[in-house]
Amino acid sequence: MSAWKQAIVIGASGGIGRGLADALEEEGVAVARYGRSLTGDAQIDIEDEASIIAAAERIATGPAPDLVIVATGLLHDGAQGPEKAMEQIDPFWLARNFAVNAIGPALVAKHLLPLMPRTGKTLFAALSARVGSISDNRMGGWYGYRASKAALNQFIRSLAIEHKRRNDRSIVVALHPGTVDTALSRPFQGNVRPGGLFAPDRAAVQLLDVLDALKAPDSGKLFDWEGKEVQP
């Protein structure tokens, strides 16, 4: 039986987001799904604050969510992929990475954290990545993705500090799901070690297990799918 009663999944039209929403519903949690390709009032575009505001207004008319997960991310768009060398750094691609991977989740937090209960355990989580760890960067490259995920991790830290003043049992964290078999990782799966590529439904269950085990002192940190803290 899940500890959560009312969940919001942003990015539920993507592989991991869909897996998270499905797994939560199987546990008996009421889930509201939001995504770009979903229909009607459930649509949301995290690159458009007006879209986030509209979603927040809709969410505010229902029960307060005690779990919010932002399961969005950008690594490539088909035509453009992560930079392999500094010569490939492009200002427009950098800006797009930051818009999707860092600014979007921060805007979701801006409008949804105030809707969460002021008492009791609440959890806001956003999908990040181990490559956003500065101390763990040993290969370089992937400038936009690495930097935008590092920025997301810093947003999470600041949001956790501020939101704890509103609810001292609140938890705000970033999650590293590992390499998941989705459109985001597909062009880069050739170097994944055996057993290191997770199906979206398995990744979702692993992440929910991590979330269920978190406590208030864990707020502001980045955890991987095994529940291990990833250093910034």
Choose the weakest-confidence range: 22-31, 131-140, 185-194.
Answer: 185-194
Name the CATH code of domain 6-230 (choices 2.40.50.140, 3.40.50.10190, 3.40.50.880, 3.40.50.720): 3.40.50.720
Q: Where are the domains of the chain?
A: 6-230
pTM of the model: 0.94
Summarised one tens digit per residue, pLDDT across range 108-134 is 999 999 999 999 999 999 999 999 999
Please compute the mean of the pLDDT values over residues 176-193 and round it to a whole number: 80
- Is residue 189 very low, low, confident or very high in pLDDT (cuts 50, 70, 90)? low
Percent of the chain with pLDDT over 70: 98
Please compute the mean of the pLDDT values over residues 152-169 and round it to a whole number: 98
- Are 139 and 84 a contacting pair, CB within 8 Å? no
Task: Give the DSSP per-residue string, the chain.
Answer: --S-SEEEEETTTSHHHHHHHHHHHHTT-EEEEEBSSS-GGGB--TT-HHHHHHHHHHHHTSPPPSEEEE----S--SS----SSGGG--HHHHHHHHIIIIIHHHHHHHHHGGGS-SSS-EEEEEE--GGG-STT--S---HHHHHHHHHHHHHHHHHHHHHHTT-TTEEEEEEE--EESSTTTGGGGGGPPTT-EE-HHHHHHHHHHHHHH--GGGTT-EEETTSPEEP-
Residue 197 and residue 185: Cα distance in Å, rounded?
10
Q: Considering the chain, what is the average pLDDT of its residues?
A: 94
More confident residue, 169 or 2: 169
- Is residue 1 very low, low, confident or very high in pLDDT (cuts 50, 70, 90)? low
